Structure 1
Amino acid sequence: MGKIYYAVLFLLVLGVVGCKQSGDRKKTQDEILIEVPDLPKILESGKIRVVTNYNSTNYFVYKGQPMGYQFEMLQEFANFMDVKLEVTVSNDLQANFEALQNGQLDIIASSLAVTRETENHVAFTEPHSFSRQVLVQQAYTPDQKGDMNIKFNSLIRNQLDLAGKSIYVQKGSAFVQRLRNLADEIGDSIHIVEIPDYEVEQLIELVAEGEIPYTVCDESLAKVNLNFYPNLDVATAISFPQKQAWAVNKNAPELLNAVNNWMVGFTKTARYRRIYQKYFLNKRSIHLVDAGFHSIKGGQVSIYDELIREESETYDWDWRLIASIIYQESRFIPDAESWAGALGLMQLMPQTANRFGVEAITSPRENIRGGMQLLQWLDGRMALRIEDPEERLKFVLASYNVGIGHVLDAMRLAEKNGKDAKVWDDNVDYFILNKSNPKYYNDPVVEFGYCRGEEPYHYVREILERYEHYKNVMR
């Protein structure tokens, strides 16, 4: 049942003996041991649970596609380990550390500065990058009346000049400890204001707008933000280059070893260099944030967001799910046409459009409305067989892609072969995937014959994974 389990069991036995010997005293809350999933448990579950922070470099959605420096590295690691990547988003460092220690997460994947203080609580991986901490300050105050009225500020270049200054930083971050150390080094006080509800980039924006005087962040992120806030100055370093790494639970040594072995090799590859350059050095990539279809700055998935919201609300569906379907079907191109003749944002076949009264098939609103009606009809049909709405959604999506007949065939094959015909993962999905195999499409229970099953199999997975990303970052 695993080394950790037996270790915990052994300690509990010792605890019981100890209690007997000391008069059966009650265990305190601190003595309750938490079993932390290590690598064997993670591989057995088939998924790895990670948290990263939502900002313009680590994790975001651009034109409907999840992107980011940490996200792409996590994808590479999950693929290497052959497990599903389960991403959640939280910019609350303290909450992330607690979730890691409580076994609710496997990895904190962000640019954590490796410090001795934090090493008492978590195990840092091998570094993925190095960066200095820098002071973020206004170089000049923007003026709405034009460049002639710009007021240039007096900049801090000597760390001694930070004496008596108020610096706003993310609560619990490595920046707090560095500023404390710096105050000792300069022999004077620095007023450190810890902000619990703001992520680093939000504090950078407040400096740019003049709401707060100073903040501190990693130099790599600071340089990216100069492209959004040209009135900032980030040239004053307050630390030497530091290791930036992921964190795992101290009681997961096998996972730590696996990440370390992968990280050491991966950071030497051309693939890693391309990822790093894409998010920190490539000017064209940096200017993605200037676009409207960026979840952070523009707040949009596509130009059709409002339309998708309106039509989705009519049928009581989550608009982010519909947006994920549309991305999969047409990449938000309203006159897209498939090889089979499907048209529009939701790729309606002409006969389907006629059935649901869609006259202008490439009209974004009519096409979305027709697609919603088809989804609603499929959901109604599947509701007669599958009660659980979350499970039923997978069958509905597969039916939208390949037709309900093929999905019903796969359900019959599952039932015949001793699987659960009402469960998609590892049950019905296996038979839809293999419906191109003569062994299955020639089976007497099959009514609709051959099906190229790879497409619906991946279709369901990709839409639901993208939907989770949209839920992470879009209201």
Structure 2
Amino acid sequence: MAFDTIDILTSEITILPKRYPCLEFSIPLYKTKMVLVLYDSIHPSYKIRNFSELHIESLQNKSIAVPSMSIFINYLNNLKDSLKINFSIRELSEEPESILDSVMNKKIFATVMDEKILIVNTPLLHNTSSYYLPYPSFDIGWAFSCHQPILRDSINQLLLYLKKKGILDFLLNKYQKPIYINQSNQLTAHSKRTKKLTPYDKILKKYGKVYGIDWRLVAALIYNESKFNVNAISSKGAFGIIQIMPETADIYGISSQSSIDEQIKISFKILNNYKITLKQFFNNEKDLYKAMIASYNLGLGHILDAINLALKYDGEIFNWEQVSRWLMNKAQKKYYSDPIVRNGYCNGRLTVYFVNIVFDTYENYVQLI
């Protein structure tokens, strides 16, 4: 950017004046905090605690890993001096989620990460405890070359407009909220008594025959999406029992006022479209179904990216587990910036988690009916 070969950097950058030569920033997109995440199998917690609750001695002679050239390094050095405690700082050429995985698996003792990234990954957390570092919130934005003032001002005007209309908050909410999946035995118990999975079995069976998709799979998907709540609206804007996004609903010609029959029909139609595209890559129905559910959750484009990465690096497609690994790799710069990838970065870990939960429900349904 300093040499005017890049005009704009739309990654989420910490806004620090004079951070680099010839680097200017957009208006703040949002604020965030730094969080220290420790391996903790004794008292694990999803809650981010205050730093005052941390036993400082637990950091003595330990190693804290952070991404290379992270702003966290300066803050950790300041913290070390102020606390008069000795710990080492490791710089790793890895994405924050990858380092977090290493903490959860006890390969690394601790890391520091953006609060927003940690919150998105909340459903996957285990064996960790988290603490806000004792520093103020900081602004996150985009960066511009100092040679591009007109571009910077134009983008800032657009961002202000999106903020005023609430669109920016909607988009941030869409990508920064965790996916919580509430599991319950209530429906299973009901099924055992009545041999009926849902209030809509008849509709599900009807469209299952039309599209050649096991109706129990769609029942499991809907159960985990909405618990069959016809009035459900997610934090990301998805609505109805099939939790369809408004832009997708427009494509298929339905709305929140559409009948249950029509909503369920559209869920089958969407899954069938995915099936037509994906069936060439999978030799068995189980793997195909998992890829279809992943596409429903994340979008077909990201799944095709993972398939293309698998074909490029492995030579062929073996199963869904292989594709899911490449999907998770799309959180790493090395892979989401690969020329074969058309849809960029994604946090595939959450989708893999969702697929596993849906498939667990589906397999329970198959045993019941």
Q: TM-score range by the shorter chain?
A: 0.3 to 0.5
- By relative contact order (CA 8 Å, sep 6+), the higher-ranking structure is 2
Greater C-alpha Rg: 1
Q: TM-score, normalised by structure 1?
A: 0.36
